[in-house]
Amino acid sequence: MTATTEPDATLNGATGQNADVERVLTDLAARLDTDAETNVGFPATLALDYGRLLPFFNRFINNLGDPFAESAYPRHTKHLEREVLGWFAALLRAPAGWWGVTTAGGTEGIEYGLVHARTRYPDALVIHSAAAHYSAAKVSRHLNLPAIAVRANRRGELDFADLRDVIRAHRHRPLIIVATIGTTMTEAVDQVSDIRAALADHAVTRAWVHADAALSGLPLAVLPPGSRPSFDLADGADSISISAHKFLGLPFPAGVYLTSHGPGGSSTVDYIATVDSTLAGSRNGHAPLLIWYAINTVGLDGLRARAHESWRVAAYTVQRLQGIGWNAWRHPHAMTVVLDTPPADIATRWRLASSNGQSHIITVPGVTTAQIDKLVTQLAGRMPQRHAGNTGEWPVLPTPRNPAYHDAEGNHRH
């Protein structure tokens, strides 16, 4: 005979009334605070205090439906969401007729881009770099869109010769190209203007370019247009997505999506009295509030200063690592420093994301030279992990597009 357990006893014992809530929360806070000191491998900015907004987390907020349409439900922040979207639209040089929405993060941003592209071109082929975020392939599968990964070079940049070959072979059908603006491992940038040129050279007119600018979109956007890579809506992107929890520093995953082509298909739902044009019906109303708070308290000048400080710390990191004989490099305008993978204990302690014998440090706002000094001290005298994919050769980096704007080490010149 099988023993049975009363449901109430099981549920209470698992998570409910018998849990030591205070101990669990104290332990969690201690772990998160300890991790903050050594988390330099994942892009999570911890440099903004949102304490002023804590009372709003005892209030339910639901941004039902389209950000630009009111609804029957009054507990929303759509007015702030529209301000946020307008701010990003100006920053990313969106044309008249743009549409946007706040998202749950980078993957949802890519999904919006591919959904809107598929609405226009149902039989399209997706092309993305082998160094693109893994969600580009995942979202393509979910949407039943065939996809091809184009080679990336050792710097993580899209191989344009291979891209042109793929475009030439498939020029008869619509193409959706995902340009990565800050690849995961090296923060390489796929130039949107070069992608548009490749499409034009092969007379491909049915095309959609989505710029996945989750990591680098915001810091690059504060640079003068002539001193940054081409990636925004004025450069030829049809849509663009940026994460708000990476450089901007929201305490939970969130982001912004913009497109030049309007919301795509939509319908009106009578019982909520609003337009259904978003992937999610009920949407996080706290995210627009926090993004609005961040851009209004830090400001454009503050964000620009944070970007330059991040690049300064990145250049310092390369210098310190090379000073102890450790292979390290970075792209111009990158917060990401690529290095030979350290021994496992150090890579784990400092949360260094690693792949094929290379790891990276990302000097988002809040990462300090003091943290870098501690890491370098622990690395001194140690040997890197060797991997079959790591040749030990350093990639040859291109010079910055505007050498007068940055010095030889990539530092900003005021």
Distance CA(178)–CA(128), nearest Å, equals 5
The pLDDT averaged over each successive group of 10 residues in the chain (414 residues) is 59 62 92 86 88 95 92 92 98 96 97 97 97 96 97 94 97 98 96 98 97 97 90 97 95 97 81 83 95 96 96 97 96 96 94 93 96 96 66 45 33 36
Q: Which fold has domain 300-381?
A: Aspartate Aminotransferase, domain 1 (3.90.1150)
> What are the sequence ranges of the domains in the chain?
54-297, 300-381
Give the pLDDT of residue 20.
87
Q: Which tokens go with 72?
A: 């029957």
Give the pLDDT of residue 48.
87
Distances 273 to 26, 100, 283 between C-alpha atoms, Å? 43, 20, 15
Give the pLDDT of residue 340.
95
Give the pLDDT of residue 11.
57
Rg over CA atoms, the chain: 23
Query: pTM for this structure?
Result: 0.89
Residue with tokens 């869109």: 145
Give the pLDDT of residue 15.
57
Domain 54-297 has CATH 2.170.190.11: no
Distance CA(23)–CA(19), nearest Å, equals 9
Instruction: Map residue 42 onto helix, strand or coil.
Output: coil
Give the pLDDT of residue 13.
57
Helix, strand, coil percent content, the chain, rounded in steps of 5: 40, 15, 45
